[in-house]
């Protein structure tokens, strides 16, 4: 367990439960945060038992009665269910915090350990899955934060283009499903099948294509992770079934060399009042140049995303924080670090750092 002395004077005892994919919890008391990680994926019953038992043991040992429980926004997380039970048992206030805000404030909270409080700043959050305010799956977001009259104001100002997960969560395990939906933005049915026929038979593809056409069990997502998964499959660095969760992206990064020079395509959506970093052009470029050096293409696509996020905020002289699992991606993080963006060093950049971020976001509100 790590202990961090913060600058917050809040007298409440606060328990933050993080999220499911990489278990960790934090407890705020007397200006300090007790931060415990290392439980692994909480969808595993043994991991979840160790996680929940560790929380109970810590509270019992220290005779703590917490007043606030912080949980993720996702309605199906095991940590959310646990938080609801604990809040009811201890008559504590239950507060839901959006996944990507917690990611950003894991970086911002670490920054506060040694720097003055920023009053006006940006946050970039990139990962695989985070439940959004609009009940879509987010994963490539930019926010602006302003602290006025001691109150934090939060505005989502940009996102990646939404793409479709054909079959919902199963597309995380079969990234060619995401590839089908993206290629459908600019190729016809026969052209798509020629690209992905190594992964599906004609009948299997027809079922998936019809499912996409009917939008049956299809989920929209702005996920950075899913886009990079689809690129890894398209370039042949991974098959359609990965042996572990982040394998497609790791293989993409491992097989990256010198990028080609292309610019990100960004539009402003008047209805949403958001900048959209388009990801379909990445796949147009790949299909057109598929016979070029695939390792250079891999690097180009990761850099395309980093450039896009940077362009949204770089003309404003404000601090920028980058967090989420994709902050571990060397190509993206190196580009953004060279632009002056701030990234976690002590706190985990991925979901293990979420409970710490939840604490800091709550205390600044």
Taking only the tens place, the pLDDT of each residue in 16-72 is: 999 998 999 999 998 999 999 999 999 999 999 999 999 999 888 888 888 999 999
Structure tokens, 171:
């597309």
> With 90 as the cut, is the pLDDT of residue 148 above it?
no
3-state DSSP assignment of residue 215: coil
Q: In CATH terms, are 2-113+346-363 and 163-343 the same topology?
A: yes
Taking only the tens place, the pLDDT of each residue in 72-126 is: 999 989 999 999 999 998 899 999 999 999 999 999 999 999 888 888 999 999 9
What does the pLDDT read at residue 7?
82
Structure tokens, 121:
């700043």
Q: Which residues pair with 148 in a beta bridge?
A: 151
Domain ranges of the chain: 2-113+346-363, 163-343
Lowest mean pLDDT among 29-33, 278-282, 320-324: 29-33
Percent of the chain with pLDDT over 70: 99
What average pLDDT is seen over the chain? 93
Residue with tokens 């996944």: 99
* CA-based nearest residue to 26, from 101, 107, 18, 72: 18
Lowest mean pLDDT among 2-11, 29-38, 129-138, 140-149: 2-11
Q: Are 130 and 138 in contact (CB under 8 A)?
A: yes
> With 70 as the cut, is the pLDDT of residue 138 above it?
yes
Distance CA 354, CA 17 (A): 8
Q: Give 45: exposed, middle or buried? Use CB within 10 Å, 0-12, 13-18, 19+.
A: exposed
Structure tokens, 211:
């499912």
Distance CA 357, CA 259 (A): 33
- Per DSSP, which regions of 115-249 are E strands? 120-131, 137-148, 151-160, 163-166, 218-221
The four Cα atoms 123, 129, 131, 136 give a dihedral, to 10 degrees, of 100
* CA-based nearest residue to 14, from 31, 37, 38: 31
Q: Across residues 132-156, what is the average pLDDT? A: 93
> With 70 as the cut, is the pLDDT of residue 305 above it?
yes
Per-residue confidence band for 240, with pLDDT thresholds at 50, 70 and 90:
confident
Distance CA 136, CA 138 (A): 6
Distance CA 187, CA 204 (A): 18
* Number of neighbours of residue 285 by Cβ within 10 angstroms: 18
**Ramachandran sector of residue 341 (left: φ over 0; alpha: ψ -120 to 50; beta: rest):** beta
What does the pLDDT read at residue 325?
93
> With 70 as the cut, is the pLDDT of residue 301 above it?
yes
Taking only the tens place, the pLDDT of each residue in 157-177 is: 999 999 999 999 899 889 999
What does the pLDDT read at residue 247?
87
Per-residue confidence band for 315, with pLDDT thresholds at 50, 70 and 90:
confident
Q: Are 290 and 191 in contact (CB under 8 A)?
A: no
What does the pLDDT read at residue 243?
66
* CA-based nearest residue to 323, from 33, 111, 83, 39: 111
* Element containing residue 112 per DSSP (H, E): helix 99-112
Distance CA 236, CA 239 (A): 7
Range from 58-72, 218-232, 310-324 that averages highest in pLDDT:
218-232
> With 70 as the cut, is the pLDDT of residue 146 above it?
yes
Per-residue confidence band for 269, with pLDDT thresholds at 50, 70 and 90:
very high
Distance CA 77, CA 229 (A): 23
What does the pLDDT read at residue 275?
97
Distance CA 256, CA 317 (A): 31
* Number of neighbours of residue 6 by Cβ within 10 angstroms: 17
CATH class of 163-343: alpha beta
CATH topology of domain 2-113+346-363: Nucleotidyltransferase; domain 5 (3.30.420)
Strand-pair category, 32-37 with 2-5 = antiparallel
The sign one gets for the Cα dihedral 201, 205, 206, 208 is positive
């Amino acid at each position: 367990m790590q202990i961090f002395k913060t600058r917050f004077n809040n007298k409440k005892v606060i328990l933050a439960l993080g999220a499911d994919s990489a278990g960790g919890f934090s407890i705020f008391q007397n200006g300090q945060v007790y931060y415990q990680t290392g439980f692994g994926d909480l969808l595993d019953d043994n991991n979840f038992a160790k996680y929940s038992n560790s929380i109970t043991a810590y509270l019992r040992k220290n005779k703590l009665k917490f007043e606030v429980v912080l949980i993720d926004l996702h309605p199906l997380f095991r940590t959310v269910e646990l938080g609801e039970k604990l809040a009811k048992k201890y008559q504590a206030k239950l507060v839901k915090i959006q996944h990507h805000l917690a990611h950003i404030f894991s970086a911002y909270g670490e920054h506060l350990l040694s720097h003055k409080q920023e009053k006006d700043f940006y946050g970039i959050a990139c990962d695989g899955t985070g439940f959004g305010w609009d009940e879509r799956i987010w994963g490539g977001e930019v926010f602006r934060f302003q602290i006025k009259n001691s109150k934090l104001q939060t505005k989502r100002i940009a996102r990646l283009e939404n793409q479709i997960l054909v079959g919902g969560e199963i597309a995380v395990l079969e990234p060619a499903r995401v590839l089908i939906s993206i290629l459908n933005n600019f190729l016809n049915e026969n052209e798509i099948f020629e690209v992905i026929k190594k992964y599906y038979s004609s009948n299997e593809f027809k079922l998936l294509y019809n499912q996409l056409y009917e939008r049956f069990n299809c989920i929209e997502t702005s996920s950075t992770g899913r886009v990079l998964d689809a690129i890894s499959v398209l370039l042949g660095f991974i098959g359609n079934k990965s042996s572990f969760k982040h394998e497609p992206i790791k293989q993409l990064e491992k097989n990256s060399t010198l990028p080609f020079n292309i610019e990100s395509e960004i539009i402003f959506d008047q209805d949403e009042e958001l900048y959209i970093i388009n990801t379909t052009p990445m796949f147009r470029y790949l299909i057109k140049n598929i016979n070029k050096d695939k390792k250079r293409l891999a690097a180009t696509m990761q850099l395309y995303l980093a450039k896009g996020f940077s362009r949204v905020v770089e003309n404003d002289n404000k601090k920028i924080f980058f967090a989420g699992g994709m902050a571990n991606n060397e190509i993206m993080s190196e580009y953004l670090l060279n632009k002056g963006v701030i990234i976690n060093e002590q706190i985990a950049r991925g979901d293990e750092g979420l409970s710490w971020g939840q604490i800091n976001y709550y205390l600044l509100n």
